[in-house]
Amino acid sequence: MQIAALLHKNPLVLAPLAGYSDLPFRLLCRRFGAGLCYTEMVSCHGLVYDRQKTVQLTRSVPEERPVALQLFGADPEKMGKAAAIASEMGIDIIDINMGCPVKKVVKKGAGAGLMKTPDLAAAIIRRVCASTSLPVSVKIRLGWTPDTLTAPQFARMAEENGASLIAVHGRTWSQGFGGDVDWQSIASVKKSVAIPVIGNGDITSHRDALDKLARWGCDGVMIGRGAMGNPWIFSPADTPGSLSERCQGLLQHLELIRLYYSEPDRMLARIKNHAGRYFKGITGGSAFRRRIYAAPTFDALQNIIS
Ligand SMILES: Cc1cc2nc3c(=O)[nH]c(=O)nc-3n(C[C@H](O)[C@H](O)[C@H](O)COP(=O)(O)O)c2cc1C
């Protein structure tokens, strides 16, 4: 009920994006209108063994709430322990990644690999739910291949084992990120469960998000790549009206990076990747990107944008 009310108030959700949906970007997306943001995927092992790189990914602040922290792994016990640790971090939802198609994740039975092993997936969901008092969401795909669209049964299984929310990317594992998103099948997932369902895949504008929401009856819509370099997608403004507005948005993003990363120069490549995306598809964009990529330091980058 709580999650349904949350999505009813604001159904626009920032997707978990490894390498992108870190604390500064989540805060920025909240500022621009996102109702709920997901963290990057966090390894259950990294959290249980207190690996600093992993722990850094879990950093959150009260201003960004509500926030969902996404865990990945294939070991029910470790996932349960990680969920218990994450529950103490001032977050609102624990999400389990059952949709990541990346080889090194799937090879270990985690991510989308769990859609092939529903008994193990059920054990993980049960263990995570037993280890936390927070609501648990599960992010899935439509199935393994177009011939095995198991998402409706899988979502029902998740609900029966304690999940309170399903997010579904409307592609199969075999599609990766290519081919069309099948919103009809996302709608079938929505019809198969009583818990809220968030639809996800290829949303390109604010209007598109609202249209998908109205057309397919989901409780929320999740935006990933459409938000990268474009947090405006969460607001009715949709895209910045001028180059200056675009730069103002990026400057806000850079200020948040400076606030939350003590050594931004150490992650300059990642920051440039974010920054370059603000100038995709606009006249003169490639010249801007060249200047961004040539910046030797974070300060220099900030000066260029200023
Ligand atoms: C760079 C990148 C990183 C991603 N990282 C994650 C992740 O950590 N966890 C996850 O569940 N999905 C991840 N995804 C998948 C997205 O959350 C989303 O399901 C997918 O991109 C489809 O939505 P979109 O078309 O709006 O991007 C990632 C996608 C991209 C492009």
What is the tens place of the pLDDT at every residue in 135-172?
999 999 999 999 999 999 999 999 999 999 999 999 99
238-268: per-residue pLDDT in tens? 989 899 999 999 999 999 999 999 999 999 9
User: Are β-strands 220-223 and 12-14 bridged in parallel, bridged antiparallel, or unpaired?
Assistant: parallel
Q: How far is CA 153 from the centre of its chain?
A: 23
| 228 and 253 both lie in a single domain | no
37 is catalytic: no
For 63, other C-beta atoms within 10 Å of its C-beta total: 10
| 205 and 299 both lie in a single domain | no
Q: How far is CA 85 from the centre of its chain?
A: 20
| 74 and 210 both lie in a single domain | yes
pLDDT for 241 equals 87
| 154 and 247 both lie in a single domain | no
Reported pTM? 0.97
pLDDT for 1 equals 65
| 40 and 82 both lie in a single domain | yes
DSSP 227: G
Tokens standing for residue 194: 């009583």
- Report d(CA 254, CA 70) in Å as an integer: 24
| 256 and 207 both lie in a single domain | no
18-77: per-residue pLDDT in tens? 999 999 999 999 999 999 999 999 999 999 999 999 999 999 999 999 999 999 999 999
4-35: per-residue pLDDT in tens? 999 999 999 999 999 999 999 999 999 999 99
- Picking from 180, 209, 234, the residue at the C-terminal end of a domain is 234
| 171 and 274 both lie in a single domain | no
- Picking from 205, 234, 263, the residue at the C-terminal end of a domain is 234
Cβ of residue 21 lying under 6 Å from some atom of ligand 1: no
User: 226-254 burial, b if ≥16 CB within 10 A, otherwise e?
Assistant: bbbbbbbbbeeebebeeeeebbebbebbb
| 73 and 160 both lie in a single domain | yes
Number of domains the chain is built from = 2
For 281, other C-beta atoms within 10 Å of its C-beta total: 9
| 257 and 188 both lie in a single domain | no
Q: Distance, CA 23 to ligand 1 centroid (Å)?
A: 16
For 264, the domain range is 243-305
Q: Which of 29, 37, 100, 218 is catalytic?
A: 100
